[in-house]
Structure 1
Amino acid sequence: KTTTAALIEITTTTATTTKTTTTTTITTTTTTTTATTTTTTTTTTTTTTSTSTTKAPIFNVNMLNNGDAETGPCETDSNVMNPPGWTCNGEITQLAYNNTFIYSRVNTIPGTAPGGCLFYGQISGYTSMWQTIDLTNYADPSLIDTGTVEFNLSAWLGGFINQNDRAGVSVTFLNQANQTTGSVTNIGPVTDTDRGSVTSFLFRQATGFVPVGARSATVLVYIIRAAGNVNDGYVDNVNIFMYQ
């Protein structure tokens, strides 16, 4: 009897299971966004440019139109001829020295500046003429308002022998509202006593400061008859100018 021994080889297979653990590291990047708010303030500067023109003053110039009775025609007879350039009240006349009316009275009057005519009262009891001058044509208002501008008013005033027919001149300053500012300045009247009862002219003048705020000036010439039928008040070379 044969005994067969069977060798059974048991092969044990050990399965090694390798577990791979994959660790995934998640890196979270936090981005902080800082929002910077820039406030832009725009300042608008408005520059206003004012152009101020200051005129050069016109000083030492007679501001009157026809202050010397030499503008326009002159009467040579007994007719009335109001002087050009003036506003007139009554018969005040621009008369030639060489005339047929009162020639013997005025043809040899001493003391007048060269010229052929004068202002004459004619037959009025009272007669006058005047002009209003725009001072701003001669000096800037800002200069006048410094109170440093002066004026000079002058005229030749006269009459006939011992008659007291007489003439005078005044200036009144006015502001922008045409209201009187400052004091009225007068020269004359020249009386027969002033003249020593001689037919003649006498020079008269006055000076002063142009009032602050003055914008115009009214110059008045007046002639008054005191005796006779003819107004023998005489005026010539009326002058007003500003200076500093």
Structure 2
Amino acid sequence: MRGRRVLAKLPAATALFALAANPAFAATSGNLIVGGDGEAGTCTTDWSAVTTVPGWTVTQGNPSVACYSIGSFSTPAGATPGRAFIADGPYGDSALRQVVDVSSAAAAIDGGGVSFNLSGWLGGYGAYNGQAVLTASFLDAAGKPLGNPAQLSGVNASARGSQSGFLARATTGAVPAGTRSIAVLLQFTDTSASYNIGYADNLSLTLSTPVNAPSLRPPSSNVPAFDHVFVIMMENTDYAQVIGDTTNAPYINSLANQGVLLVNHSGVYHPSDENYLAIAGGDTFVKGAIYYPNIHVTASSIADEIEAKGKTWKAYEQGMGTPCNTSNNNDSYYEPDDAPFINFSNIASDPTRCAAHLVDTNQLSADLQSAATTPNFAWIAADDYYDGEASGNGSATSLKTQDGWLKQTLQPIFNSPAWTTQRSLVVLTWDESASSSGNHIATVLLGSQGLVRAGKTSNASYNHYSIGRTIEAALGLGALTANDQYGQPINDAFVATSGTGAASLSTTMPSISKGQFIAFAFDTPFAQVSAKNWIGIYPQGGSPGHGSSTSWQYTPAASGTATFDTSGLAPGNYTAWYCNNDGYTVIAGPVSFTVH
């Protein structure tokens, strides 16, 4: 385990390799990067866990905030690390973005002479070449790039002496006239060899003129108020197993076509129960394959927030029998923790409270008879056979089993007074993928009274903390941890986005220096998503099917950030193209850029 290794600090000579900030630079703006040190996050001491990174929007992968106590890391000479740093997370390359508004300094910037300083600690793990890349792109009022981006990179294994730790990097330059915002992109690249092997901390962007300083705030929410929220979590099924299989899962796919399908939704842990806890408590709390009765969470849960607001809740579990029953005498596949609340000590240790809220799914039909008896929040759990696990982990048999149970369970909700006369939301999700790679799972939102967009897909990056944040917004609840407080609410399930529905490819870096990393943002409609979609770079005049690409990579997600190292490109003009399914069918592009 990485967290158990003790690694020596880098020698002083190696530390001197770090680039120091220009001593003549006079910064008067303060740090314009929000959350560049990870200190506001709930840091984890579990390399397998995903946490929310406050202040940033995730555009690729599942980055996390890690505690320094997770291992031993060298830091720049004379510097004292804080509590936490940002890492690439457990599922490979990742990217985060924020846009800094500098329009308050427009007059000074347009007058010339305003400088910037971009700095940070970049690092990685041991002999792995995973590294962080920090880029600042200067944008005009229309969001178009100006001049060359500023970039920090190069802290690979060789630069670190194959040690785990950080080196300081900094660069300065002139802010182009006309700049009104600065797009800051933090990428973790070359991380496929392992997990959590690229690190960043103490990221800073300052200008030599006063700028209205941004502050850390939770992402804005467009989630409407709901009277009832129903959560159903199935198990152990890959996104690709269920979505599109209309033979074995026709009902599930019909739901995806009726509501909003989250195309880029991931679990926050592998294996199972930590994902349940992430929604119910805003944290994974435990490590590894820990299950009831060995989980004892003393923190508050969403149930406490619901009761504090004077609202009602119940967890309905197939096979429970009598309320708060924890034995499986009635159903050999019944597991008490298929609804997470039995893991919270203030519920498990209170028999009266437990019996009032944890009941068998047989009770659901009676409670649905009127809106008044339908709880404001309901967690509905199949037993381990019908939730897809014991029936085959996303196999054809498993999908048929899940599909039948969901149809039998959800149709009464859709026919109930709570649905037909009040504002109700259904969130159908899975705990984890059948395979651990990527932990990509399906999630569907459906709503009554026209509150959820119908027949849409979302390409935004979400995870189980986003579900928790959305439930809190829907019921007017407070946050439990930084994970749900700063988690991205699933806004585009409720509000139309500005997208055209067409595939797109873009960059904020049309002019770069040789050796810099160039990043492309890509997005494609659900119908064009393929594990073998790819982006290729061609010399000017070349294109897919006409000449060879100088560099290319697969982009299996519906949207994200693709990063290319330009050290192998000769100075000149290039175009990037986004192509479908291992072929030369262009779905977006060309995007032109120049290497100097």
Task: Identify whether the pair has TM-score above 0.5, normalized to the shorter chain.
Answer: yes
Q: Which entry has the higher C-alpha Rg, 1 or 2?
A: 1
Residue number in structure 2 paired with 1:74: 43
Gaps of 5+ in 1: 1-57
* Closer, same or farther: CA 82–72 of 1 in aligned 2, 3 Å: closer
Residue number in structure 1 paired with 2:189: 224
Report sequence identity in percent.
Answer: 34
For 2:93, which of 112, 126, 133 is the aligned residue? 126
- Distance in 2 (CA, whole Å) between partners of 1:225 and 1:182 is 27
- Equivalent pairs counted in the alignment come to 179
Letter in 1 for 2:31: N
Letter in 1 for 2:66: L
- Distance in 2 (CA, whole Å) between partners of 1:199 and 1:211 is 36
* Closer, same or farther: CA 226–95 of 1 in aligned 2, 3 Å: closer
- Distance in 2 (CA, whole Å) between partners of 1:64 and 1:134 is 10
Is it true that 1:233 corresponds to 2:203 in the alignment? Answer: no
- Distance in 2 (CA, whole Å) between partners of 1:227 and 1:176 is 37
Is it true that 1:135 corresponds to 2:102 in the alignment? Answer: yes
Deviation at 1:126, TM superposition (A): 1.4
Deviation at 1:60, TM superposition (A): 4.0
Residue number in structure 2 paired with 1:242: 207
* Closer, same or farther: CA 199–142 of 1 in aligned 2, 3 Å: same
Deviation at 1:96, TM superposition (A): 1.1
Contact 2:50 2:90 in 1 (8 A): no
For 1:188, which of 150, 153, 156 is the aligned residue? 153
Is it true that 1:117 corresponds to 2:100 in the alignment? Answer: no
Contact 2:110 2:178 in 1 (8 A): yes
Greater percentage in helix? 2
Deviation at 1:227, TM superposition (A): 5.3
- Distance in 1 (CA, whole Å) between partners of 2:173 and 2:111 is 14
Report the TM-score when normalising by structure 2.
0.29
Deviation at 1:75, TM superposition (A): 2.1
Aligned-partner SS, 1:144: helix
Aligned-partner SS, 2:122: strand
Deviation at 1:228, TM superposition (A): 3.3
Residue number in structure 2 paired with 1:55: none
Contact 1:113 1:237 in 2 (8 A): no
For 2:121, which of 146, 153, 156 is the aligned residue? 156
- Distance in 1 (CA, whole Å) between partners of 2:41 and 2:199 is 18
Deviations 1:147-183 (A, max 9, x none): 1100000010111121111111000000011100111
Structure 1 outlier segments of 4+, above 6 Å: none
- Taking the TM superposition and a 5 Å limit, the aligned residue runs for 1:1-244 are 59-77=28-46, 78-88=48-58, 89-98=60-69, 103-104=70-71, 107-111=72-76, 113-137=80-104, 139=105, 141-226=106-191, 228-243=193-208
Report the TM-score when normalising by structure 1.
0.69
Contact 1:133 1:217 in 2 (8 A): yes
Contact 1:163 1:227 in 2 (8 A): no
Letter in 1 for 2:54: P
- Distance in 1 (CA, whole Å) between partners of 2:181 and 2:80 is 27
- Distance in 1 (CA, whole Å) between partners of 2:198 and 2:116 is 25
- Distance in 2 (CA, whole Å) between partners of 1:129 and 1:87 is 5
Deviation at 1:73, TM superposition (A): 1.8
Deviations 1:43-69 (A, max 9, x none): xxxxxxxxxxxxxxx924001111111
Deviations 1:1-44 (A, max 9, x none): xxxxxxxxxxxxxxxxxxxxxxxxxxxxxxxxxxxxxxxxxxxx
Residue number in structure 2 paired with 1:52: none
Aligned-partner SS, 1:142: helix
Aligned-partner SS, 1:143: helix
Deviations 1:104-126 (A, max 9, x none): 3xx34322543100000122331
Letter in 1 for 2:168: F
Residue number in structure 1 paired with 2:224: none
Deviations 1:183-242 (A, max 9, x none): 111111311111121222111111001100000001111112345331300100000000
Contact 2:41 2:52 in 1 (8 A): no
Contact 2:138 2:182 in 1 (8 A): yes
Aligned-partner SS, 1:185: strand
Letter in 1 for 2:68: Y
Letter in 1 for 2:182: A
- Distance in 1 (CA, whole Å) between partners of 2:140 and 2:80 is 33
Contact 1:223 1:231 in 2 (8 A): no
